[in-house]
Structure 1
Amino acid sequence: MEMPAERVARSLLKVKAVFCNLEHPFTFTSGTVSPVYVDMRKVISYPGPRTEIAELSASCIKSRVGLEKVDVIAGGETAGIPYAAWVADRLNLPMIYVRKQAKGFGRNAMVEGDVQPGQRVVLVEDLVFNGQSKVKFAEGIRNTGALCEHVLAVFDYAYTGESAAILDVAGIQLHTLTNWPVLLKVAGDEGFFSPLEIETIQEFLANPRAWSQKRGGV
């Protein structure tokens, strides 16, 4: 029986949410040059993969957190909002979203929607890179008096596991549906990427800074 991580990886590859370009690498806003780019927003346009990912996300929360321990689902501005909405709908739970920066003043300056002190919130996101932005979102939720001890990300971008370590220090447990090793295996087995593309992506992920700097990035 196929594992959920492989199903999610295949869905991302089918909707072309993962781009690879060896001749003209991507330059991120940070200045990092990369042979691969992940655009999780692509999923919103495809009902089939969207439904599958939403249902697997909801199942993950039920099994790893426990539905009885969740009062509210949160999404991070902007890409996490649709994912949170799909999950909240399937779990029949209230939803809020968290801003990247506070708007106005007061304890709810970063949060839109209703959440009460003491309520248990699970943050649902499209992907996690290094975990730092998720800590900031969790802090915004905690400033309302609510609790945020779990983050669910569909895709774990970090190749070396640093995201979980950063979140753990902040008292947050990370749950993910799929990651690079699984995605690259599916991509190779099913011909989504060539052997050279996979080898190059693995080289980049093993040392992003070195790979980027060799090509004029930071």
Structure 2
Amino acid sequence: MKNELIALLCRKSFKYSETPAFKLVSGRMSRFYVNCKPTTMSPRGMFLTGHLIFEAIRNSGASAVGGLTFGADPIAMATAFASELKGQPVNAFSIRKTQKDHGIVKWVEGDIQPGEKVVVIDDVATTGASTIKAIERARSEGLEVVRAVILVDRQEGGMDHIRAHVPEAAAIISRDELVAGWKKTVRTS
């Protein structure tokens, strides 16, 4: 499944340039661009992502999986769906970027209660800042973050920053694996 997901990401979500050509959120230029949404929102991408993330969290003791909207949302939903198929249901949740200011004011949306063990996920880690923000907001709502799982690690220090907040953190796919997959795709096309 992982190799198929790498190939799908290379076709739909990954761009590579020998010289820095892609502007990141930080303003820095990079040789790599990753936008997982075309993959994680496609039927096959949902299937692969959901199953791979579920395998990464299945023994965590978590009752829910989620992260900062919008990157984590399709992954959380795909993981919850895969967990039901595997007979070990795990709920999905979403963490808002801005706090709700009406009704019950909160950061986290989903069928989840304070005290539950959760896994925070994200689509891509560069510096880890968005994942760390999600971890902090989940904790502020009384959730126990037991693990963090990133779909794609850009290998730019983000995973180390995340591990400073959640020691049990892992990535499914590395930038090096995407580059290797991309180069293989270019050679065969």
TM-score range, shorter chain: 0.7 to 0.9
* Residue in structure 2 matched with residue 71 of structure 1 by the alignment: 63
What SS class does the counterpart of residue 165 from structure 1 fall into? helix
* Residue in structure 2 matched with residue 87 of structure 1 by the alignment: 79
What SS class does the counterpart of residue 37 from structure 1 fall into? strand
1:5-47 deviation per Cα after TM superposition (whole angstroms, max 9, x unaligned): 43332120122x1123568922234221223311111114532
TM-score (norm 1): 0.73
* Residue in structure 1 matched with residue 86 of structure 2 by the alignment: none
- RMSD of the alignment, in Å? 2.7
Alpha-carbon separation, structure 1, partners of 2:44 and 2:9 = 11
Report the count of equivalent residues.
Answer: 184
Alpha-carbon separation, structure 2, partners of 1:101 and 1:172 = 26
Alpha-carbon separation, structure 2, partners of 1:145 and 1:37 = 35
Q: Structure 2 unaligned segments of length 5 or more: list them.
A: 84-88
**Offset of 1:130 from its aligned partner?**
1.5
Alpha-carbon separation, structure 1, partners of 2:135 and 2:37 = 22
Bigger Cα displacement from structure 2, 103-112 vs 183-192: 103-112
Kindly indicate whether residue 94 of structure 2 is the aligned counterpart of residue 97 of structure 1: yes
Q: RCO higher in 1 or 2 (8 Å CA, sep ≥ 6)? A: 1
Name the CA shift for 1:129/1:51 in 2 (closer, same or farther; >3 Å). Answer: same
| Structure 1 stretches of at least 4 aligned residues deviating more than 4 Å after TM superposition | 21-24, 105-108
What SS class does the counterpart of residue 123 from structure 1 fall into? strand
Q: Structure 1 unaligned segments of length 5 or more: list them.
A: 195-218
**Offset of 1:49 from its aligned partner?**
3.0
Alpha-carbon separation, structure 1, partners of 2:124 and 2:45 = 16
Name the CA shift for 1:106/1:19 in 2 (closer, same or farther; >3 Å). Answer: same
Tell me if the contact between 1:27 and 1:34 (Cα under 8 Å) persists in the aligned partners.
yes
Alpha-carbon separation, structure 1, partners of 2:32 and 2:187 = 13
Alpha-carbon separation, structure 1, partners of 2:185 and 2:20 = 24
Name the CA shift for 1:109/1:53 in 2 (closer, same or farther; >3 Å). Answer: same
What SS class does the counterpart of residue 118 from structure 1 fall into? coil
List aligned pairs for 1:52-63, cutoff 5 A.
52-62=48-58
Tell me if the contact between 2:67 and 2:131 (Cα under 8 Å) persists in the aligned partners.
no
Kindly indicate whether residue 148 of structure 2 is the aligned counterpart of residue 168 of structure 1: no
Structure number with larger C-alpha Rg = 1
Alpha-carbon separation, structure 2, partners of 1:107 and 1:125 = 25
Bigger Cα displacement from structure 2, 180-189 vs 18-27: 18-27
Name the CA shift for 1:56/1:23 in 2 (closer, same or farther; >3 Å). Answer: closer
